[in-house]
Amino acid sequence: MVIEGNANKVSKGIIKKVAGPLVIAEGMRDANMFDVVRVSDQRLIGEIIEMHGDRASIQVYEETSGLGPGEPVESTGVPMSVELGPGLIGSIFDGIQRPLDDIMKVSGNNLKRGVEVPSLKRDLKWDFKPKKAVGDTVVEGDVLGTVAETDIVTQKIMVPYGINGKIKSINSGSFTVEDVIAVVETETGDKEITLMQKWPVRRGRPYKEKLSPDMPLVTGQRVIDTMFPIAKGGVAAVPGPFGSGKTVVQHQLAKWAEADIVVYIGCGERGNEMTDVLNEFPELIDPKTGKSLMERTVLIANTSDMPVAAREASIYTGITIAEYFRDMGYSVALMADSTSRWAEALREMSGRLEEMPGEEGYPAYLGSRLAQFYERAGRVITLGSENTEGALSVIGAVSPPGGDISEPVSQATLRIVKVFWGLDSGLAYKRHFPAINWLTSYSLYTDTMADWFNSTVDESWMELRHNIMRMLQDEAELEEIVKLVGMDALSAGDRLKLEAARSIREDFLHQDAFHEIDTYTPLHKQFLMMKLVMAYYNSSLEALEKGADIEKIVSLKSRERIGRFKYTETAKVDEEYKNILTDLASDIENAIPKEEY
């Protein structure tokens, strides 16, 4: 590999000090910053994060109890890297890309230390189909051939970064990830290419050009798609206190977002949540491909009881894998739950290094680290001669203490992200899910995506959306008045507005993640739902003008059908929509007093 060619000087030292996950070793003068090291005879994995003369500060990714001064430390001369190649999809890895199922075979139900297992399975053979032939000139990022990894994901085997030249040989057939599948003749000699390549996690994978996002990442979640859409290649943050449904929102996006690949990072969260994903995803069917959702998912799990230093690495491991799929021209969605735990891991290491703390004990570089991470998202033209387009969208959950987003992690995140889905414990107590507060949330993509929605779904989409938003805004103001003077003081028109807004909240924004149909709503159905609520409002308004009684309008029978429209199967929505409109029209007609002659 080119990227590690400069180092490979192995340096050996001994432990001087152990304090939790921080180990300080002497005699490490030849090691590089961010080199991976093996600590003690148990060969625990660590990374150099500071150098003073020949003393290296090492964060160890495994439990350090039992280590003491005098034990050996060996630098491997390479930075922390991940293995990229067939076998990623459907796997569950720990924070430093060790497959948890293989660890289980070695160490049983509990995680023991010093387990060495390769990231990608070495014994599996993959069918490689070449797309290039001997004599072809290739540049870095060019697709040499493909491997059908699952029924829905075809992995493209790309020429690694830094290799340009002529193909000397290329084979087709069945290979393990370590077998040589092609040889490329370059100016610096022949380079052997395998199905697998490596990449250092702390460095973004290169691309040709970054573009502005131009289309939404459709998620099937109404409040997101309609009100606060996220773009393909965009970044979003979901902050919320505990119990407000952050994880359910993340799971819903991982399940239903219209992405080719989903990378889900469980960073310092509950073990059972990862188990839930592991159990549930294989059984869920992707509405687009008809295959199991697990066949497009990569999981990274560093649960809250796993070593804290690996938590810091898990985010980078995940995003590097995501970038690799982006480079193949896929649309990739990455969910990180939760970035606050990552920041806390950073704080813990910073504290042990005795650095001068910034706000609330977080290191001063918290903001820049977060920014670096989120900036790895985006829509790009990938390397290679074909100018393929790939996109990487990132959705990060934030867990602010006490739900108060004035804390450093939330604030640093908000400076970077374009979409903010603010979760509200008040809504959660009322069991209004997803508890995304429509008044505090925002999406800076709303306007840039307007053309796409108007041309793809319906030309009145944006107008409807604005009307709905205005209605909710008005509701908040009217609620204030009601609190002061009571419902009776409102005009009939205002009462109708409150009723319509309630319908928007209960019949449209409220979405049941555990209902088999309601869990995912295609855009067309979302559009019809908006139209129904607005149809109720507009025709009622007309009826009021014609002298109808507000009490009658409020208790129209057809409103119940509007409320149940969300549970209508996708195939039947158009028919049901028409029926409800007819019903509504006749109900309204009946509510209008007949003029007597």
Partner 1 sequence: MPKEYRTIEEVAGPLMLVKGVENISYDELGEIELASGETRRCKVLEIDGGNALVQLFESSTGINLASSKVRFLGRSMELGVSDDMLGRVFDGLGNPIDNGPDIIPEKRLDINGLPMNPAARNYPQEFIQTGVSAIDGLNTLVRGQKLPIFSASGLPHAQLAAQIARQAKVRGTSEPFAVVFAAMGITFEESNFFIESFKETGAIDRTVMFVNLANDPAIERISTPRMALTAAEYLAFDKGMHVLVILTDITNYADALREVSAARKEVPGRRGYPGYMYTDLATMYERAGRQTGKNGSITMIPILTMPEDDKTHPIPDLTGYITEGQIILSRELYRKNVMPPIDVLPSLSRLKDKGIGEGKTRADHANTMNQLFAAYARGKDAKELMVVLGEAALTDMDKLYAKFADEFEKVYVSQGYNTDRSIEETLEIGWKLLSILPRSELKRIKDEYLDKYYIEDDK
Could you say which residues in the range 494-523 bind partner 1, by CB under 8 A?
506, 514
β-pair type (261-267, 331-337): parallel
Examine residue 401 and tell whether it contacts partner 1 (CB under 8 A).
yes
Note the Cα 119 to chain centre separation in Å. Answer: 22
List the interface residues with partner 1, window 323-342 (CB under 8 A). 341
- Is residue 486 near partner 1 by the rule CB under 8 A? yes
Give 18 or 395: the residue with its C-beta nearer to partner 1: 18
Question: Which residues partner with 515 through β-bridges?
Answer: none
Q: If binding is defined by CB under 8 A, does position 242 make contact with partner 1?
A: yes
- The residues, ordered by sequence, that sit 6+ positions from 457 with a Cβ below 8 Å of its Cβ are 523, 524, 527
Output the six-digit token pair for 231.
């773009």
429 binds partner 1 (CB under 8 A): yes
Q: Which is nearer to partner 1, 163 or 300 (CB)?
A: 300
The answer to whether 104 contacts partner 1 (rule: CB under 8 A) is yes
173 binds partner 1 (CB under 8 A): no
The C-alpha atoms of residue 227 and residue 221 are separated, in whole angstroms, by 10
Sign of CA dihedral 306, 307, 308, 309: negative
Q: How far apart are CA 452 and CA 131, in angstroms?
A: 34
- Dist CA 295 CA 288 (whole Å): 13
| Options 35, 312, 323, 348; binder of partner 1; rule CB under 8 A | 348
Cα 128 to the center of its chain, rounded Å: 30
Q: For residue 302, give the 3-state DSSP assignment.
A: strand
117 binds partner 1 (CB under 8 A): no
Footprint on residues 577-596 left by partner 1 (CB under 8 A): none
- Write down the least CB distance from residue 341 to partner 1, Å: 7
C-alpha pair distances (Å), 314 with each of 35, 299, 300, 422, 482: 16, 10, 7, 25, 49
> Angle CA(343)–CA(345)–CA(346) in degrees, nearest 5?
60
Residues 517 to 576 in contact with partner 1, rule: CB under 8 A: 555, 560, 563
Residue that is written with structure tokens 């507060």 in the block:
437
Return the structure tokens found at 450.
């307007």
Question: Which range binds partner 1 by CB under 8 A, 408-416, 478-486, 519-527, 585-593?
Answer: 478-486
Q: Is 119 in the site for partner 1 (CB under 8 A)?
A: no
Minimum CB separation of residue 558 from partner 1 in Å reads 12
Q: Is the sign of the CA dihedral 528, 534, 538, 539 positive or negative?
A: positive
Choices 43-51, 217-225, 265-273, 285-293; region in contact with partner 1 by CB under 8 A = 265-273
Question: Which candidate, 390, 396, 402, places its Cα nearest to that of 415?
Answer: 396
- Give the binding-site size for partner 1 (rule: CB under 8 A): 72
Instruction: Name the token pair of 485.
Output: 């003077």
Among 82, 224, 301, 498, interactor with partner 1 by CB under 8 A: 301
In the list 32, 97, 303, 568, the residue contacting partner 1 (rule: CB under 8 A) is: 303
Which segment (142-150, 284-292, 304-312, 531-539) binds partner 1 by CB under 8 A? 304-312
**Looking at 137, 174, 272, 368, which residue binds partner 1 (CB under 8 A)?**
272
CA pair distance 328, 214, nearest whole angstrom: 19
Given the rule CB under 8 A, which of 273-281, 323-331, 457-465, 517-525 is the region that contacts partner 1? Answer: 273-281
- By CB under 8 A, what part of segment 404-423 binds partner 1? 404
The window from 42-50, 303-311, 439-447, 527-535 that contacts partner 1 (CB under 8 A) reads 303-311
Kindly state whether residue 307 participates in binding partner 1, applying the rule CB under 8 A. Answer: yes
Nearer to partner 1, 146 or 303 (CB): 303
- Quote the tokens at residue 345: 């891991």
Calpha distance 314→298 (Å, rounded): 13
Under rule CB under 8 A, residue 476 binds partner 1:
no
Mask: binding to partner 1, 51-70, rule CB under 8 A, as x and -?
-------------xxxxxxx
Q: Look at residues 527, 523, 407 and name the one whose alpha carbon lies nearest to residue 467.
A: 527
Q: Does 101 bind partner 1 (CB under 8 A)?
A: yes
